[in-house]
Amino acid sequence: MSAHLQQFLAYDDWANREAAASLLSAGAAAPQKAGKLLAHIIGAQWLWYARVRGRANKMAVWPELTAEQSSAESRLLLAAWSELVLAAGEAGLDRSVSYKNSKGEPWTSTVREIITHLTMHGAHHRGQIATLLRESGHEPAYTDYIHAVRTGRL
């Protein structure tokens, strides 16, 4: 299972960087909200990483990042999460993590559930980014998971 999570993490990084490239391609005409959503993906992933590690968060959940910065942070996130998965092993992926959500409510999730969530959360927002780009006349990145697998990007 950890190999499967590693592939999801690699996919997520690739898709984030593809989304960043599509924003850069649109240039100054890229919808501002699309850039904010990409930065949010990054900020939220750092928040989850901090929760799992029991550390202070590296950045805001809605940080001010350029597309280039989001792309670079995505690479750092892949390295951080990949190291965490390798170090945790299968048993460590079922470790419970207690945290409070943005409303201050206490919750507990496993590391495996958190990683699954963050990759799905990213896919959700990348879909919004693609819609915003297409509505503004730009070509969004093709970031479907199966496309990445079929074309050997993973």
Contacts with 127 (C-beta within 8 Å, 6 or more apart), sequence order: none
Helices in the chain by DSSP H: which ranges? 2-26, 32-53, 67-93, 111-135, 145-150
4 against 65, higher pLDDT:
65
* Residue 125 assigned as binding residue: yes
* Residue 121 assigned as binding residue: yes
Q: Please give the model's pTM, rounded to 2 decimal places.
A: 0.95
Specify the pLDDT at position 1: 63
Q: What mean pLDDT, rounded, does the chain reach?
A: 96
Q: Binning pLDDT at 50, 70 and 90, where does residue 60 land?
A: very high
* Residue 4 assigned as binding residue: no
Tell me: the pLDDT tens digits for 115-152? Answer: 999 999 999 999 999 999 999 999 999 999 999 999 99
Task: Give the residue-averaged pLDDT of 93-107.
Answer: 95
Radius of gyration of the chain (CA): 15
Identity of the residue numbered 68: E
| Domain boundary assignment for the chain | 2-150
Tell me: the pLDDT tens digits for 7-22? Answer: 999 999 999 999 999 9
Specify the pLDDT at position 91: 92
Specify the pLDDT at position 154: 86
Task: Give the residue-averaged pLDDT of 33-45.
Answer: 98
C-beta separation of 114 from 48 below 8 A = yes
- The class of domain 2-150 in CATH terms is mainly alpha
What are 80's two structure tokens? 């951080």
Q: Residue 124, exposed/middle/buried by CB under 10 A (0-12, 13-18, 19+)?
A: exposed
Spatial distance between the Cα atoms of 108 and 25, rounded to a whole number of angstroms: 40
